[in-house]
Structure 1
């Protein structure tokens, strides 16, 4: 059963959600093209894509979608209820990332790549603020974290850190993209999201969710550059 859709400002909620998810996929694609390192979950996605591509013809965005579905299955024992935004998150972001990678070619110029990284991190924070602030359900990965916290596994800080260190380590072992951009994302995304999220939150989104997301983003692990 899905989380009920809030009754107020539904038109804006859905439009903001869709824009946020499209922008999120776009920024993920730009960060891949920067080739300066990815955020922890995308290190895992890129590593898994690298391994699977040896046996099957599979795109980066398809791997993102598959991982989203598998993470959603982990919600079942946690008794987490997805929202419309949760399902659209799993369906849209991977496709948009692939579309971005098909349009934006690989770059050789370091200055251009740094510019892409900066644009990707800034845009990712805005995208996160848009889809979280719409109040139509968390993304699969954020929902896994909040579900574990709700079941008493640990604090937001502990659970978030353990999850992201786990996927970062697994991604590194699989050959995922770790670099300067990984550290930049880890340091910058918390303050940026804290800045934009209150301004993009609509109506009756519970403020405890806003505060929880702020704390979880601020406590992202800061992996070393490789």
Structure 2
């Protein structure tokens, strides 16, 4: 196994763990979550179970949606990513309970979560293994409709926002910020993370 392969595996696993941490921080900020996470929290509030559980369930649905859009067999390897992400989110939500609830702490927690989530997404993508079902759907929309990565993610997140509102999920100003800034932020970070993690590692 080459050094580059080892680095990619580490980046893949670490990126998912980091992404889950960022999502949990945004949920705990009480300023509004990411659209899909708001939907999962809403499902959790209405029907029980955990946020991570609903993430995994809908991850399976996304796998089949992506398969239809791309006209190919479902990529069940992406279940690995959604299971890791779902379990990690539940663990982080169990661990993270900010003691201070002031406005400054809420804003800090949200922005920290947004940056960490975007960095984690950019990092795990460097692994070049299976995508999370949500990201797989984003890529499928990008290719099928000829959209940019930013546009396809914005469309997907906007749909999730509507579902979250129907379920009275934790939607707020932070949700709007995440919906329109996460795509550009990920796109901005990906080449920088790639240079830092991959390109300077010799085989």
TM exceeding 0.5: yes
Q: Which residue of 86, 89, 92 corresponds with 2:81?
A: 89
- The structural deviation recorded for 1:125 is 1.4
Matched, 1:72 2:63: yes
For 1:103 and 1:159, locate their aligned partners in 2 and report how far apart those are by CA, in whole Å. 33
Q: Which has the higher helix share?
A: 2
Q: 1:103: which partner in 2?
A: 95
Aligned residue pair count: 192
**CA RMSD of superposed structures (Å):** 2.5
Query: 3-state SS of the aligned residue for 2:124?
Result: helix
- The structural deviation recorded for 1:147 is 2.2
| Contact 2:154 2:180 (8 Å CA) reproduced | no
Provide TM-score, normalisation by structure 1.
Answer: 0.75
Q: 2:11: which partner in 1?
A: 16
| Contact 2:33 2:175 (8 Å CA) reproduced | yes
Q: 2:35: which partner in 1?
A: 40
| Contact 2:67 2:73 (8 Å CA) reproduced | yes
Alpha-carbon distance change, 71 to 123 in structure 1, aligned in 2, over 3 angstroms: same
Q: Which residue of 50, 75, 91 corresponds with 1:59?
A: 50
| Contact 1:43 1:177 (8 Å CA) reproduced | yes
- The structural deviation recorded for 1:190 is 3.5
| Contact 1:80 1:147 (8 Å CA) reproduced | no
Unaligned 5+ residue runs, structure 1? 1-6, 204-226
Q: Which residue of 50, 53, 60 corresponds with 2:45?
A: 50
Alpha-carbon distance change, 148 to 183 in structure 1, aligned in 2, over 3 angstroms: closer
| Contact 1:39 1:186 (8 Å CA) reproduced | yes
Alpha-carbon distance change, 185 to 158 in structure 1, aligned in 2, over 3 angstroms: closer
For 2:191 and 2:151, locate their aligned partners in 1 and report how far apart those are by CA, in whole Å. 24
- Farther off after superposition, 93-102 or 44-53: 44-53
Alignment map for 1:1-226 (pairs within 5 Å): 9-53=4-48, 58-77=49-68, 78=70, 79=72, 82=75, 84=77, 86-105=78-97, 107=99, 108-151=101-144, 153=145, 155-156=147-148, 159-201=152-194, 202=198
For 2:152 and 2:181, locate their aligned partners in 1 and report how far apart those are by CA, in whole Å. 20
Unaligned 5+ residue runs, structure 2? none
| Contact 2:23 2:34 (8 Å CA) reproduced | no
Alpha-carbon distance change, 155 to 46 in structure 1, aligned in 2, over 3 angstroms: same
